[in-house]
Amino acid sequence: MTAVLPQPRTTPALPSPRCLTRVENGERLHALLWTAGPGRRMISSAVLGGGIGERTWVLNAQVSHGYRRTDPDRHLAGLAAAAGARGPGVGLMTAADVSAFARAQDAGAQAYVTAGVDVRGWAARPGEGTSGPQDPGTINIVVALPVPLSDAALVNAVTTATEAKVQALLEAGLDCSGTPTDAVCVAARTPGPGEEEHAFAGPRSLWGARLARAVHRAVRDAVTAP
């Protein structure tokens, strides 16, 4: 009799996003909303819901060029609530048309990318930075993994996603490491009782390698789309 080993428990990383449309100041704008529901831990640099914690949704909202609101977190929270999102979530924004998002998958790792690269450059450059808000040109990356990650691995996943983004930009012939307002969100499953978290998400780890390939392809497709 042949023993059958149980398959590791995985759930879909994130459902496909809903594409929302609204009109603000006479301009037609789009947003992407992922409704993950409970059971997701996320790490993000987003203006709304940033840091590490339980999150139930992700919103990537297009805003107008020259965006000047001083309460982007409140703005994003209102957009999410109007779309029916409930509970804590992550809100990102960009001046790019998010309906033209790129998506890639690699063995369970998912990456969604929206890209506006008109305002781009190198991270390390001479001159002083600014403490105020900047124009939302923005490459936004949303990554999802169907497995639990430790806090350290979540941080590691952000680094891996960023490295893959820069690799894709250089391979696409763009002279930059990104834009001044790039944001990233990584979603992983909350561990069940007694379930071990993955401790690593670097580019040579199992899930880090999958994440890197998915982000690389999605960024490349987003910045080279006609």
Q: pLDDT tens digits, residue range 90-131?
A: 999 999 999 999 999 999 999 999 999 988 899 887 766 565
Helix (H) or strand (E) segment spanning residue 90: strand 89-94
d(CA 212, CA 209): 5
Going by C-alpha positions, the residue among 54, 46, 102 that lies closest to residue 72 is 46
β 183-189/139-144 pair status: parallel
Q: Can you name the residues that pair with 141 across neighbouring β-strands?
A: 113, 184
Query: Which residues in the chain show pLDDT less than 70?
Result: 1-12, 127-137
Output the pLDDT for position 196.
95
pLDDT of residue 135: 53
Distance CA 106, CA 122 (A): 28
pLDDT at 133: 53
Structure confidence at residue 225 (pLDDT) = 85
Report the pLDDT value the prediction gives residue 182, as an integer from 0 to 100: 95
Q: Read off the pLDDT of residues 180-194 as tens digits, 9 standing for 90 and up.
A: 999 999 999 999 999
111 and 215 Cβ atoms separated by less than 8 Å: yes
Nearest residue to 94 (alpha-carbon basis) of 123, 56, 135, 55: 135
**DSSP code at position 146:** S
Residue 87: phi and psi, rounded to 5, are 85, -175
Separation of alpha carbons 11 and 21, rounded Å: 29
pTM of the model: 0.91
**Interior angle at CA 17, CA 213 and CA 90, nearest 5:** 85
First to last CA, the chain: 56
Q: What is the pLDDT of residue 131?
A: 58
What's the CA angle centered on 61, arms 59 and 63, to 5 degrees? Answer: 160
Q: Around 194, how many Cα atoms within 13 Å sit in the side-chain half-sphere?
A: 1
Rounded distance, CA 113 to CA 148, Å?
22
- The helix (run of H) or strand (run of E) holding residue 34 is strand 27-35
CB 8 within 8 A of CB 20: no
